[in-house]
Structure 1
Amino acid sequence: MLVTGDSLKMIEESKSELQQIFQMKDLGELKYFLGIEFARSKERILMHQRKYSLELISELGLSAARPICTPIDINVKLTTKEYNDYLKNNNAKQLKGNNAKEPLLSDVGSYQRLIGKLLHLTVTRLDISFSVQTLSQYLQQPKKSHMEPATRIVRYIKNQPGQGVLISNKPIQEVTAFCDADWSACTHTRRSVSGFLIKLGESLVSSKSKKQTTISRSSAKAEYRSMTITVSELTWLLGLLKELEAEVKLPVNIYSDSKSTIQIEANPIFHERTKHIEIDRHFIREKIQQGFM
């Protein structure tokens, strides 16, 4: 359990009341919690998982392995057993080599455990979020071609096992969000992948890389849905900050590299090509009218 606040007196009173009801041990200043290490200075706190990362590297027997500079090879196309069967039954040209004949891993649990540990590592290692999200789609029937890129991520982590997230102690005034989408990224379903990160002042507080639930027929639609997911997260985050009585400067700045998404939102005229995202459009427009962004 973590007990935190801006008043040492209230913290001590809270711990004293809890100790009267529960059998507890005070471990002092926060240094290690659920595999996450905390390094403090007068200006910031560094959250990292160096010990956790080194244990994972040792567990896989990669202590002597050569580090890699990138978490995933974008040229490698991963496929599922069902997708290979579909290509085989339809004599598709995409079916090449022995990829379709590749058997499943004999120890499926080893792959599932590794992905689970990598998911926990994404708490402080945002640079592997997309790679882990991609590999987590093959948990049911993993193959050797899936295990190799999962091991590659661990070798990438070996390059800088102590990398983490910096939390600044500067006053919180502005909330900034960045959103993007990889259109039609999934080769099996052709669904897009949304990604966002939100900063509270200079500190990163929320991020996500997730495949969208529906298929987008245009890149503008995928980008707009990514912005909708970001605004939803911002709505929840600002509500939480309000409960904590933290002052936040409005409007919130949201950055997107999609000109079409920005133009759709800036133009109040209803476009025929945006009928399929009418709900998302009205949701974001309502937030703009409220001065939210």
Structure 2
Amino acid sequence: MLPPEGYFKAKRGEVCLLKRSLYGLKQASRQWNLEFSDKLLGFGFVQSPHDNCLFVKHTGDIYLALVIYVDDVLITGNSSAAIQELKDYLHNLFTIKDLGQAKYFLGLELLRSSKGTHLCQRKYIMDLLEDAGIPFSDTGKFRRLIGRLLYLNLSRPDISYGVQQLSQFVQAPTQAHWDVATHLLKYLKGTISLGLFYPVGDISSFDAYCDADWGTCLLTRKSITGYCVFFGNSLVSWKTKKQKTVSKSSAEAEYRSMATTVCELQWLYHISRDLKRTKHLDIDCHVVRNQFKAGFLLPQHISSLLQPADLFTKALGGAAFRSFLLKLGMCSSNHIPT
């Protein structure tokens, strides 16, 4: 490592001799990211300006994409030979461990079949249930549970609304809040294999649903925004979030919800363009009205019986809840198509 700025005792050409592993140092993650990114760029990859963890390489008919999380890497592409060449390149530089086809990545389980891919977090839920326990002992335990539930939301949109409600009380939870969290844990235990299924097929467009529950927060009277975005028949994004300001009407709350959804659509569009997944979309505007005029958006009224975004803004009855799970493409890993 080069001597830090402000240290003048080092002579020209001298570097620091580490007396401990680089892991654990404050600058370790930053230095690793810079080094890994530099090597990928030198191999012909381009870093996505919309997500710095995504690197893509397009040479002729060959396409490669790489996603990195610290030192865990996912690689995909349309050429097995090109993927192997990339693995060899990284192995010569960093001595990587090749785990083959992705089956388990950062708590996410990937089950493949000829019909598509099933994404779930069954093992993660089992570990969560084992560590959570039943008695409410301290606020730290509640905070840890909410943090793990937020991560579980990566593959479980069905708990998005419940976790959002519970996360508002992490500073001063009570026994009542723990009882609600326990009820959610019991639901997870009964649906431990539930996950998202992504079918194989040609995809060329996004469909988004958004909803707002006006002034439902009794403490602040702020509204809740909920949306879900489909890429073809696959659910790719969803969120439940309290709006930052108080809306004076239900129309204003709905408009804020639409604006949030449009921002997400813009980001997804650019990511899909980096991944060479879209052919018939174009975007050059940044607000709901302009996007409607440009033809990028086609707002439509959706009946509550057919509005899957309701799942992200309010508590639903059992029949409606199960109906929307099917619309979101959620199924048990024991019943995925083969």
Give the TM-score of the pair, scaled to structure 2: 0.63
Amino acid at match of 1:155: K
Query: Which residue pairs with 2:16 in the alignment?
Result: none
CA–CA separation in structure 1 for the residues paired with 2:262 and 2:194? 28
State yes or no: 1:34 paired with 2:106.
yes
Alignment of 1:104-183 (within 5 A): 107-183=138-214
Cα distance between partner residues in 1 of 2:143 and 2:279? 41
Question: Separation in 2 of the partners of 1:215 and 1:124?
Answer: 30
Quote how far apart the aligned CAs of 1:207 are: 0.7
> Within 1, Cα distance between the matches of 2:282 and 2:76?
29
1:250 shift after superposition: 4.4
Is residue 289 of structure 2 the alignment partner of residue 285 of structure 1? yes
Residues 165-204 of structure 1: pairs in structure 2 closer than 5 A: 165-204=196-235
* Distance in 2 between residues matched to 1:243 and 1:56, nearest whole Å: 35
CA contact under 8 A between 2:107 and 2:124: conserved in structure 1? yes
CA distance in 2, matches of 1:61, 1:140: 20
* Alignment CA distance shift 1:248-1:141 (3 Å): farther
**Residue 115 of structure 2 is aligned to residue 43 of structure 1:** yes
Cα drift, residue 106 of structure 1: 5.5
Q: Distance in 1 between matches of 2:287 and 2:236?
A: 23
Structure 2 alignment gaps of length 5 or more: 1-72, 298-338
Q: CA deviation at 1:208?
A: 0.6
* 2:211–2:257 contact (8 Å) kept in structure 1: yes
- The one-letter code sitting in structure 2 at the alignment partner of 1:4 is T
Superposed structure 1 runs of 4+ greater than 3 Å apart: 248-252
Q: Is the 8 A contact 2:132 2:145 kept in 1?
A: no
**Equivalent residues, number:** 222
Match of 2:250 in 1: 219
Secondary structure of the structure 2 residue equivalent to 1:216: coil
List gaps (5 residues or longer) in structure 1: 63-104, 253-281
| AA of the residue aligned to 2:77 | G
Give the TM-score taking structure 1 as reference length: 0.72
Q: Is the 8 A contact 2:226 2:241 kept in 1?
A: yes
The one-letter amino acid of 2:161's match is F
Alpha-carbon deviation of 1:7? 1.8
Deviations 1:147-174 (A, max 9, x none): 1111111001111101011112211112
User: For the Cα contact (< 8 Å) 1:48–1:124, is it kept in 2?
Assistant: yes
Q: Kindly indicate whether the alpha-carbon contact (under 8 Å) linking 1:177 and 1:196 is maintained by their aligned counterparts in 2.
A: yes
CA contact (8 A) 1:175 1:249 kept: no
1:218-237 aligned within 5 A: 218-237=249-268
Taking only the aligned residue pairs, the percentage that are identical comes to 44
When the two chains are superposed, the root-mean-square deviation of aligned CA atoms in Å is 1.7
Conservation of the 8 A alpha-carbon contact between 1:172 and 1:248: no
Contact 2:205 2:278 in 1 (8 A): no
